[in-house]
């Protein structure tokens, strides 16, 4: 872990901040590295990662910027949870078991110590929940918004990472959990929800899903055994299935009436059916979308039951150009003119 | 590699930028991942790293922010070189062989495409020079300054990473290359050089050292065999030796008259002796500072000659401390009241 010493391009600015930064590392970050020998208690420039024979490392990196990926006044504990969980979700989607992570914080010089304390408390809580440790990183100051980066490391048997490539015509398409909750919550958080919605709609569980997505790590081993291709839904269901279609060189067809919806989302869609587009193309679900051979359908559903993660079949893989088609209950293609389509 | 799709907190802003971002990834970043199978051509959410039996991974992370770590109008090729090299220098200081790196770019929405093209060209040039490949990362937009993060991965034999801990009383202190060049150049770049300096002083090689430090990877294997503790000089020679002293629990004494200086630095110091404090406490040298048992002195110097890296004995390790003392040619302690001392 290194402090923010550096080229002092702004006269006189680097040294005092650096002194404070080392104190902050001691107080808030070093405790997060306890229990992982390769972090050396954050006393070094680097950490080490031992990879058992027959395994290989999966590396994934996600950055979040205040005002882009979260709202500046979101609770710091929630920001920490989301930062770690979006990376853990990537590991889950690749079939990997979490091991350790690097953290880079770029904070304004006037960032309140209380913010950092709460942010690190949030990291600590999720480290215990998901069994991952802080390995190292960097702490720098910025004149811009809070910018946070996690690079997460996980283990898979060598050569067995679940990829976006690998979906084949005849495969079925599956989705864990429910879709659209986070995107609907974002409408609410931004004050852009349709006026027609019933007052009784309970937004709280949706907002919780937006702020604290649940990485589907419990399903990762089954995914590795059964899936032909997979990823986590971050850009939006249609866009992310589009990634699989593009990299695998296939067409994907899903059925809107088979989408797994939460009770709250179902209530909202009953009142404002146009929200289906939000459900299909909004992001931030962090559920696993994957394909598997049709012969494995029963095994996929059984694996979901065995690890307590709901899994729903939502469509199929077809031969043909990279494309994603959404059919309605009558089997007719839905016109979708939304950002989710931008990658085609 | 993931694009910058995300919670669109700013109305209507995420989607068009994201589309452009995917195009930029294709054009500028994917070529940097060629030749490293575990990057999967940046078509996935994650990359893989295979670690040979008996080896372990060294992970180091350094972030750079415009206006803090580099000047916003520095040439993008130089920024790329520095970003990669400060991380490669960390790997060298830990005795590691470079393998792959993750890159996170947080760029303003109006960042010129030409800037990114030149930045990536700089990365490509140094990838070829130092034998490292892009593994993955993230690309996000920011309302603040350009913020760049590299997490570099290297290999060492298991358990053999050179650490800050390990210096013992009786060890000698060594330094590769020359010290102070970058800090002197920074004075010049910021227009803060003393007025008394001779006009003939050639600043160009000093500025080159500031912008393009040379990671001492050639010496890394020798360092791993011979050093008891080590790091690269980034915060400043005295501050960084202080890190070794603190973590090893020793005192370090160096001799100012033994410091290896470049010809340009020697000319400047002859004209303005007070610049010695800049040499001792300025940062950004990215030379290796390390300790080794006195019995290995000849082997250390021979290893330097064998790999074409100058190595100079500059002091010794004593019981006591943690403290760093700088002695003048007569053996009297120099008073240093500079940021380099802040960690004591």
CATH of the domain at B216: 3.90.650.10
Whether B140 is in a domain gets the answer yes
Q: Say whether A147 counts as a known binding-site residue.
A: no
Question: Do residue B152 and residue B204 come from a single domain?
Answer: no
Q: Which residues contact A215 (CB under 8 A, 6 or more apart)?
A: A85, A88, A89, A91, A92, A130, A232, A286
In a domain, A253, yes or no: yes
Test the A interface: residue of B4, B39, B58, B68 with most A CBs within 10 Å: B68
Same domain flag for B115 and B209: no
**pLDDT of chain A along its 344 residues, tens only?**
555 443 333 322 333 344 466 688 889 999 999 989 999 999 998 999 999 999 999 999 999 999 999 989 999 999 999 999 999 999 999 999 999 999 999 999 999 999 999 999 999 999 999 999 999 999 999 999 999 999 999 999 999 999 999 999 999 999 999 999 999 999 988 888 887 776 666 788 898 999 999 999 999 999 999 999 999 999 999 999 999 999 999 999 999 999 999 999 999 999 899 899 999 999 999 999 999 999 999 999 999 999 999 999 999 999 998 999 999 999 999 987 654 433 32
**CB pairs < 8 Å spanning A and B:** 273
ipTM of the complex: 0.90
* pLDDT tens string B109-122: 999 999 999 999 99
Give Cβ neighbours of residue A199 (< 8 Å, ≥ 6 apart): none
Tokens describing residue B44: 């996935």
B-chain CB neighbours of A3 within 8 Å are 235
Q: Distance between CA B304 and CA B315 in Å, rounded?
A: 17
B328 and B195 inside one domain: yes
Binding residues of B: 45, 60-62, 69, 90, 137-138, 164, 232, 234-235, 284, 341
Domain containing residue A72: 14-157
Query: For residue A99, is it within any domain?
Result: yes
Q: What pLDDT, on the 0 to 100 scale, is given for residue B14?
A: 32
DSSP letter for B28, please: I
Residue A306 tokens, joined: 């065995």
Extract the annotated binding site of B for ATP.
Answer: 137-138, 164, 234
Residue A98 belongs to some domain of the structure: yes
| Nearest-Cα residue of chain A relative to residue B64 | A140
Task: Give the pLDDT score at A25.
Answer: 80
Among the partner residues A51, A58, A161, nearest to B51 by beta-carbon distance = A51
Cα torsion through B201, B204, B210, B213, rounded to 10: -120
Looking at the complex, report in whole angstroms how far the Cα of residue B159 sits from the nearest Cα belonging to chain A. Answer: 9
CA A252 – CA A322 distance, rounded (Å): 8
Consecutive 10-residue averages of pLDDT for chain B (344 residues): 42 39 84 94 94 97 95 94 97 98 95 94 97 95 96 97 98 98 91 75 86 96 98 96 97 97 93 92 95 98 97 97 92 73 34
Domain count, chain A: 2
- Residues pairing with B230 in the sheet: B290
Contact (CB<8Å) A65/B141: yes
A166 phi-psi bin (left φ>0, alpha ψ -120 to 50, beta other): left
Chain A residues touching residue B145 (CB < 8 angstroms): 142-144
Residues of chain A neighbouring B210 (CB-CB closer than 8 A): 7
Kindly state whether residue A166 falls inside one of the protein's structural domains: no
Best of A59, A96, A160 to disrupt the B interface by mutation (most B CBs within 10 Å)? A59
Question: Which CATH number belongs to the domain containing residue B94 in this structure?
Answer: 3.30.1330.10
Q: What residue of A is the nearest CA neighbor of B62?
A: A138
Distance of residue A237 Cα from the nearest chain B Cα, in angstroms? 12
Tell me what pLDDT residue A202 has.
79
Contacts of A4 in chain B (CB under 8 A): 68
Q: Which of A157, A183, A206 is the last residue of a domain?
A: A157
Q: Which pLDDT score is estimated for B338?
A: 52
DSSP B197-248: S-TT---HHHHHHHHS----GGGHHHHHHH-SEEEE-SS-HHHHHHHHHHHH
A126, A222: one domain: no
What is the DSSP pairing of strand B47-49 with strand A251-255?
A: unpaired
- Residue A151 is nearest to which of B70, B151, B234, comparing CB atoms? B151
Predicted local confidence at residue A19, as pLDDT: 47
B321 lies in the same domain as B180? yes
């Amino acid at each position: 872990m290194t402090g923010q010493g550096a080229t002092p391009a702004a006269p006189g600015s680097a040294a005092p901040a650096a002194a404070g930064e080392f104190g902050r590392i001691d107080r808030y970050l070093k405790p997060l590295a306890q229990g992982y020998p390769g972090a050396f208690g954050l006393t070094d420039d680097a950490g080490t990662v031992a990879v058992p024979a027959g395994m290989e490392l999966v590396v994934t990196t996600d950055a979040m910027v205040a005002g882009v990926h979260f709202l500046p006044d979101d609770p710091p504990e929630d920001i920490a949870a989301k930062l770690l969980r979006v990376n853990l979700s990537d590991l889950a989607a690749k079939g990997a078991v979490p091991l350790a992570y690097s953290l880079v914080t770029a904070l304004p010089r006037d960032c309140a110590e209380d913010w950092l304390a709460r942010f690190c408390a949030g990291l600590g809580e999720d480290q215990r929940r998901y069994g991952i440790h802080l390995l190292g990183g960097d702490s720098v100051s910025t004149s811009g918004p809070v910018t946070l980066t996690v690079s997460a490391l996980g283990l898979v048997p060598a050569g067995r990472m679940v990829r976006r490539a690998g979906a084949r015509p005849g495969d079925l398409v599956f989705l864990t959990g429910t879709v659209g909750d986070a995107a609907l919550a974002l409408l609410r958080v931004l004050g852009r929800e349709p006026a027609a919605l019933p007052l009784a709609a309970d937004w709280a569980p949706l907002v919780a899903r937006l702020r604290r997505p649940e990485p589907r790590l419990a399903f990762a081993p089954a995914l590795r055994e059964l899936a032909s291709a997979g990823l986590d839904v971050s850009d939006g269901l249609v866009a992310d299935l589009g990634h699989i279609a593009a990299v695998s060189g296939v067409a994907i067809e899903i059925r809107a009436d088979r989408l797994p919806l939460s009770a709250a989302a179902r209530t909202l869609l009953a009142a404002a059916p146009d929200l289906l587009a939000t459900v299909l193309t909004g992001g931030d679900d962090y559920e696993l979308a994957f394909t598997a051979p049709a012969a494995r359908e029963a095994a996929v559903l059984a694996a979901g039951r065995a690890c307590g993660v709901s899994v729903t079949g939502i469509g199929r893989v077809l031969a043909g150009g990279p494309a994603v088609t959404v059919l309605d209950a009558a089997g007719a293609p839905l016109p979708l003119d939304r950002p989710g389509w931008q990658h085609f």
